[in-house]
Amino acid sequence: MTERNHENFAAGDEDHIGPDASLLIVDDDGPFLRRLARAMEMRGFQVETAESVAEGVAKSKGRPPKYAVVDLRLGDGNGLDVIEAIRQRRDDTRIIVLTGYGNIATAVTAVKLGAVDYLAKPADADDVFSALTQRPGEKAELPENPMSADRVRWEHIQRVYEMCERNVSETARRLNMHRRTLQRILAKRAPK
């Protein structure tokens, strides 16, 4: 992208962002956090970053942002705590939740707490920007590659696992599945 195109791209983005361009990104994956922060700054946001729940909560209390991108699973806890801290101070923040574990049930909980959307990691900067600046009532575009049947099954197992408060035995019982089979499934990465 040429410098001139980049300037036009950023100038057009400011219209979508509005006068308060404060953005807090909370993620414990340092390289991803830095890449996303740079990309969002290039699109006109004033970015602050946090690599932990504690740091995210502290920054939310100090200066609640207009926009936030919060990873659900952080090294020191759950990103839902950051969302709650933001909502205690500001109710108009547009919050996007990132989940790297395909954990749709927890993402739905985040939406109930006030997140406007959730994205599966790895999400690219364009997806994050679109989710942050989407107008109320606008519908997201349909994905070109919908989830495979294996992925849908895996998501269902994850949802039941979360509902059972991460109890493998209870999850296996509810899914009518052998406990060891469930453990093997849970140990693997999400299918594409």
Burial code of 53-71, b = ≥16 C-beta within 10 A, e = fewer?
Answer: bebbbebbeeebbbbbbbb
- Look up residue 181 and give its amino acid: T
- Cβ atoms of 80 and 110 within 8 Å: the answer is yes
Tell me the sheet residues that pair with 118.
97
pLDDT (mean) for 164-188: 91
> Could you check whether the bond before residue 65 is cis, i.e. omega within 30 degrees of 0?
no
Q: What is the pLDDT of residues 68-97, one digit of tens each?
A: 999 988 888 888 899 999 999 998 999 998
Helix (H, G, I), strand (E, B) or coil at 124: coil
- Cβ atoms of 36 and 69 within 8 Å: the answer is yes
- When comparing pLDDT for 7 and 153, which is higher? 153
- Cβ atoms of 78 and 84 within 8 Å: the answer is no
Ramachandran class of 27: left when φ > 0, alpha when ψ lies in -120 to 50, beta otherwise:
beta
Helices (H), 45-178: 53-62, 80-89, 104-113, 125-133, 149-163, 168-174
- When comparing pLDDT for 147 and 24, which is higher? 24
pLDDT of residue 10 exceeding 50: no
- What mean pLDDT, rounded, does the chain reach? 81
Q: What is the pLDDT of residues 87-124, one digit of tens each?
A: 999 989 999 988 765 566 666 777 777 788 788 776 78
Determine the distance from the C-alpha atom of residue 181 to the mean position of all C-alpha atoms in its chain, rounded to a whole number.
29
CA-CA-CA-CA torsion for 35, 138, 15, 87, nearest 10 degrees?
-70
Q: Residue with structure tokens 């922060």?
A: 37
- Look up residue 41 and give its amino acid: E
